[in-house]
Amino acid sequence: MGVFTRRKAAEETGDEKQKLATTKSLEENIDMLKKLLADCNDVVYKEFRVGVDQDNDFVLVFTDGLIDKSFINEAVMGELMIHAREVPPEAPKDKEKLFELVRYGCLPALELKVIENLDDAVLAILTGDAVLFMDGVSKLIEIGAKGWPGRSVSEPATESVVKGPRDGFTETFRFNTALIRRRIRDPKLKLKQMQVGRRSCTNIGIMYIEDIALKEIVDEVERRLKTIDIDGILESGYVEEFIEDNPFSLFPHIKSTERPDKAAASLLEGRVVILVDNSPFVLIVPVVLTSFFQASEDFYMRWIPITVLRFLRYFAGLISLIAPALYIAVTSFHPGILPTQLVLSIAAAREGVPFPALIEALIMEVTFELLREAGVRLPVLIGGIVGIVGGLVIGQAAVEAGIVSPIMVIIVAITAISSFSIPDYAFANAFRILRFLFIIAAGFLGLYGMVLMLLLVLGHMVKLKSFGIPYLSPFVSFTASDMKDTIPRVPMFYMRNRPLNTAVDKIRMINNRHMINNIEASKSSSDKGGKTDDKK
Residue 85 lies in a domain: yes
Task: State yes or no: pLDDT of 15 exceeds 60.
Answer: no
Alpha-carbon 114 to chain mean position: 34
Q: Are residues 95 and 49 in the same domain?
A: yes
Domain's final residue, options 100, 128, 143: 143
Average pLDDT value for residue range 351-371: 87
Closest among 193, 453, 234 to 326, alpha carbons compared = 453
Residue 507 lies in a domain: no
Q: What is the pLDDT of residues 508-521, one digit of tens each?
A: 877 666 556 666 66
Instruction: Compute the average pLDDT of residues 447-456.
Output: 94
Give a yes or no: residue 92 inside a domain. yes
Please report, as a single letter, which amino acid is at residue 179. Answer: L
Average pLDDT over residues 317-331: 93
Whether 340 and 262 map to the same domain: the answer is: no
pLDDT in tens, 391-438: 777 778 888 888 888 888 889 889 988 988 888 888 999 999 999 999
Taking the CA atoms of 195, 196, 197 and 203 in sequence, report the sign of the dihedral they define.
negative
Question: Where are any strands of DSSP class E within 70-139?
Answer: 112-115, 130-134
What are the backbone dihedrals phi and psi of residue 21, each rounded to the nearest 5 degrees, phi first? -75, 150
What are the residue ranges of helices labelled H in 353-403?
357-377, 380-400
Are residues 277 and 324 located together in one domain of the fold?
A: no
What are 204-231's pLDDT values in tens digits?
Answer: 999 999 989 999 999 999 999 999 999 9
Contact 272, 220 (CB under 8 A): no
- pLDDT, tens only, 31-57: 999 999 999 999 999 988 876 566 678
What pTM does this model have? 0.85
Same-domain status, 278 and 347: no
What is the DSSP pairing of strand 282-285 with strand 189-196? unpaired
Q: Would you say residue 186 has pLDDT above 70?
A: yes
Domain end marker among 263, 298, 333: 298
395/360 Cα distance (integer angstroms): 12
Long-range contacts of 129-132 (CB under 8 A, 24+ apart): 129/62, 129/67, 130/60, 130/61, 130/62, 130/67, 130/72, 130/76, 131/60, 131/61, 131/62, 132/58, 132/59, 132/60, 132/61, 132/76, 132/102
In a domain, 509, yes or no: no
| Domain membership flag for residue 135 | yes
pLDDT band at 9 (very low <50, low <70, confident <90, very high): very low
Look at residue 276 and tell me if it is in a domain: yes
Same domain for 321 and 384, yes or no, is yes
How many Cβ atoms sit within 10 Å of the Cβ of residue 370?
12
Q: Residue 522: pLDDT band by 50, 70, 90 thresholds? A: low
| Same domain assignment for residues 227 and 334 | no
Domain co-membership, 13 together with 94? yes
Task: Return the DSSP state at 282.
Answer: E
Clarify whether residues 252 and 323 are in a common domain: no
Residues 19 and 105 in one domain: yes
Q: Which residues span the domain enclosing 349?
A: 303-463
Choice between 512 and 367, residue whose per-residue pLDDT is larger = 367
Q: Which residue has the higher pLDDT, 86 or 161?
A: 161
Q: What is the pLDDT of residue 261?
A: 93
In a domain, 526, yes or no: no
Residue 153 is classified by DSSP as P
Q: Is residue 279 part of a domain?
A: yes
Q: Tell me the C-alpha distance between 184 and 155, whole Å.
A: 20
Residue pair 477/470 in contact (Cβ under 8 Å)? The answer is yes
Do 328 and 449 belong together in one domain?
yes
Q: Which residues contact 475 (CB under 8 A, 6 or more apart)?
A: 289, 486
Q: Answer whether residue 382 shows pLDDT above 90.
A: no
Q: Do 181 and 254 fall into the same domain?
A: yes
Read off φ and ψ for residue 165, nearest 5 degrees: -65, 145
Considering the domain architecture, whether residues 342 and 443 belong to the same structural domain is answered as yes
| Cα–Cα distance measured from residue 297 to residue 304, given in angstroms and rounded to the nearest whole number | 13
Question: What total number of domains does the chain contain?
Answer: 3
Q: Which of 443, 463, 483 is the last residue of a domain?
A: 463
Is residue 359 over pLDDT 80?
yes
